[in-house]
Structure 1
C-alpha cells in the first residue's frame, strides 16, 4: 500500500491516534492532535476523552477527525455546533480500517494505491487466544473488535468468554476452563509487568504466553498491513 500525493489540501486536527499516524503517512497537514498520538512535534489539544474544544476551534481547521469509540459524542456535537467539518470513523474490523485509510486519503486529496483489505491467512482458524487488556478487573476483547479481526487474519480465534460487549470483564478461572492455546499480552492499553505475565502463566497453564505490540494489535489504518506481517512473524 503506497500513497501518492498532489499537495494535501486540508489543515486537520486529529483526535484519534490511529488516524493521526495514517494522516501523517498520507502527508497531510496535521496541525494538532491528542497527547496520546505520540507526536511530540505536533501541537496537542488535550486527550481523546477531554479535548480542548475552544483551542481546536481557534485553529480553524478544515477537518477534525474523530472516532466513535475513542471520542465523546458531546465533543463531536460541540465541534459541529462551532461550524467545523468533522469526519467520524467506526472501525471494528480490518476491512473498516482500510476504508478509513481511503476516506482520509480522499479528504486530504491524496491517492492511495491498493487500499484493500489484506488477505487473511490461507489456513482456517487454528488456534484460540485470550487477550487481556486490563487488570483489576481483568478485561479482554470480544470478536466484535478490530483486534479480533486482525488476529482472525492470522488464523487465530478468540476464546468465547460468553459475555456481551466489545471489552468484557472476565475471571481467569473461567478463562482457564476454556483452555486457550495462547495468551497474547499486549503492551497497551494496560502496562503488564513481568509479575502479571507470571500470574497469567500460572492461572492458564495450558497456554503459551506471548507478549505482543499493543499498537500493532489495536492501532489501525496505514499500520495494518505491516502489523499483520510483524504479528505473523512473532506468532507464526
Structure 2
C-alpha cells in the first residue's frame, strides 16, 4: 500500500500519484516546480516567489503561519507539503484532519537531501529528485573552504538583534563554508545584545537579506560596533532555502568566501 513517512515520522496514505498539491513553504514550492510538477501544484503561500513566472499563476493560500482554510478547501488538494519550523502547529493539525499532510523537519544538508528524495518518491518524481540530490551533493563536496577557520555571526533580525545559533540549517551551512559560529552555544535563534556581539569578536558578520531585509545601509552601523570585522550582506535564500535552490548555493558560497 502506498504509505509514506514524513520527517516527523508521521505516516500518510496516498492511493495514487497526487494531482492537486498545496505547498506551504517557499523553498519546497520551488523544488516541486524543479521536479516537473508545474501542473500538479495548485496552491502556494504569498511568500513563494520562485520560479517567478510560474508562481504567478497559482492560487495564494495565505502566509506560512496564517493559512486561508477556505482557499485551501476550494482547491481540494490530495497532498499538502509543509515544514515544522516554517508553519504553525495548530494550522497543520487542522489541515491534517482533512488532507494528507507531509511535513519536513530540517537541520542539516543531509536532512535537506533526504527531504528532496522523499518528496520525489511521494509525487512520482523519484528519478528527477535523485538527479537533483546528486548534483547538490557533488557541488557541496567541491566547495573549497579557507585554510583556517573563520569566526562568524549570522544576523536574521534587527530590533531586537537576533542571530543564528546551533541546531539550525543555517548553522550547518556556515560550518560547510569553514565558518565557526560564535553563537554556536546558543540555541536556535537567540536575541543578543551589542555587548554580547562585541565580546564574541567575530571576524565576519553576515547580515541576511531575509527574514529581516538587511541592506547596504546597515553595514556602517555594524562596522561602528566592530571596526575590525568584515561585514557583508548575505543572500538569505542561499543559506536557508533547503530545496532545489541548493543547486545554486555552493557557487554563491564560494564567491562569498573569495570576497572575504
The aligned counterpart of 2:46 is: 35
Residue 233 of structure 2 aligns to a residue whose secondary structure is strand
Alignment of 1:15-164 (within 5 A): 15-28=24-37, 29-38=40-49, 39-82=55-98, 84-110=99-125, 111=127, 112-114=129-131, 115=133, 117=137, 118-119=140-141, 121=143, 123=145, 126-160=149-183, 162-163=185-186
* Shift in alpha-carbon separation, 1:9–1:66, aligned structure 2, 3 A: closer
* Shift in alpha-carbon separation, 1:193–1:99, aligned structure 2, 3 A: same
Q: TM-score, normalised by structure 1?
A: 0.89
Alignment length (residue pairs)? 227
Q: Counting strand residues as a fraction of each chain, which structure ranks higher?
A: 1
Residue 117 of structure 2 aligns to a residue whose secondary structure is helix
- Whether contact under 8 Å (2:152, 2:202) holds in the other structure is yes
CA distance in 1, matches of 2:57, 2:164: 32
CA distance in 1, matches of 2:79, 2:189: 30
Aligned-pair distance for 1:214? Answer: 1.0
CA distance in 2, matches of 1:10, 1:206: 55
Aligned-pair distance for 1:179? Answer: 1.4
The aligned counterpart of 2:19 is: 10
* Shift in alpha-carbon separation, 1:31–1:148, aligned structure 2, 3 A: same
* Shift in alpha-carbon separation, 1:161–1:95, aligned structure 2, 3 A: closer
CA distance in 1, matches of 2:141, 2:110: 10
CA distance in 2, matches of 1:231, 1:14: 27
- Whether contact under 8 Å (2:107, 2:169) holds in the other structure is yes
Residue 130 of structure 1 aligns to a residue whose secondary structure is strand
Unaligned 5+ runs, structure 2: 1-16, 50-54
Unaligned 5+ runs, structure 1: 1-7
Aligned-pair distance for 1:122? Answer: 5.8
CA deviation profile, 1:201-232 (whole Å, cap 9, x unmatched): 11111210111211111111111132122111
* Shift in alpha-carbon separation, 1:161–1:92, aligned structure 2, 3 A: closer
Residue 223 of structure 1 aligns to a residue whose secondary structure is helix
Residue 232 of structure 1 aligns to a residue whose secondary structure is helix
Q: Counting helix residues as a fraction of each chain, which structure ranks higher?
A: 2
* Aligned-residue RMSD, C-alpha: 1.8
